[in-house]
Amino acid sequence: MKKIILSVLLTLGLSTTVSAAEGNAEVGKDKSAMCAACHGVDGNSLVPMYPKLAGLSANYIVKQLTQFKDGTRQDPVMAGMAAALSAQDMADLAAYYSSQKRTESAGTETALGKDLYLGGNSENAVTACVACHGLKGKGMAAAGFPAIASQNAEYIKIQLEKFRSGARANDNNAMMRNVALGLSDDEIKALSQYIASLK
């Protein structure tokens, strides 16, 4: 008897020391029905101003949902969606979307976009995007750098504008705000097209 209680306590203890909830992709798929109208059934949003969630890392998705809920990342639509989600819901949804394959997007590979992406602009203190998001825009999941390749161009443009104005301020150490501060409107357009064109 004592042994059983001990093992139950140990199991409970272990599961509470795991900081993030374990996500289940199958359960997440069921819970994603209310997200599909905007983000697509498989996380490939067909509406250009809404982000594709397919191919984002689970860590990144959980971070965003947590921050929409607590207001660190402000968006009236997503605040409403995230309000009802528990940590377990977020983990399950993240497991589902991160397991989905991102479809290709239409984008123009402009010279301006490519130069900025690969080389930055030292005059305006724009760090090259490649340093954190990688040559092909796949990001670095462990470091919290999201995959941006084949994201919807319109969504990318909106986010760069939000980082530049400070309307989006949930990036650790203002990493993205510092980068976006030196970008002109034309540069943001060119970068959005270039990134969407990355496969």
Residues near ligand HEC, by CB under 6 A:
34-35, 37-39, 50-51, 53, 56, 61, 63-65, 75, 77-78, 81, 93, 116, 126-127, 129, 131-133, 144-146, 148, 156, 158-160, 170-171, 175-176, 179, 191
Name the minimum Å distance from CB 100 to ligand HEC.
Answer: 12
User: By C-beta, is 10 or 59 nearer to ligand HEC?
Assistant: 59
| Residue that has been written with the tokens 């150490």 in this structure | 173
Using a 10 angstrom Cβ sphere, with 0-12 exposed, 13-18 middle and 19 or more buried, the burial of residue 142 is: exposed
User: By C-beta, is 15 or 184 nearer to ligand HEC?
Assistant: 184
Name the minimum Å distance from CB 3 to ligand HEC.
Answer: 42
Within 10 A of 120 (CB to CB), how many other CB atoms are there? 18
Name the minimum Å distance from CB 21 to ligand HEC.
Answer: 14
Q: Is the dihedral of CA 185, 116, 180, 195 positive or negative?
A: positive
| Residue that has been written with the tokens 């819901």 in this structure | 89
Residue 134, token pair as written in the block: 């990688």
CA pair distance 22, 90, nearest whole angstrom: 10
User: By C-beta, is 21 or 81 nearer to ligand HEC?
Assistant: 81
User: By C-beta, is 2 or 92 nearer to ligand HEC?
Assistant: 92
Name the minimum Å distance from CB 196 to ligand HEC.
Answer: 10
Name the minimum Å distance from CB 14 to ligand HEC.
Answer: 28
Using a 10 angstrom Cβ sphere, with 0-12 exposed, 13-18 middle and 19 or more buried, the burial of residue 88 is: middle
Beta-carbon-side half-sphere exposure of residue 133 (alpha carbons within 13 Å): 25
Q: In terms of residues, how long is the chain? A: 199
User: By C-beta, is 42 or 50 nearer to ligand HEC?
Assistant: 50
Name the minimum Å distance from CB 8 to ligand HEC.
Answer: 33
User: By C-beta, is 22 or 31 nearer to ligand HEC?
Assistant: 31
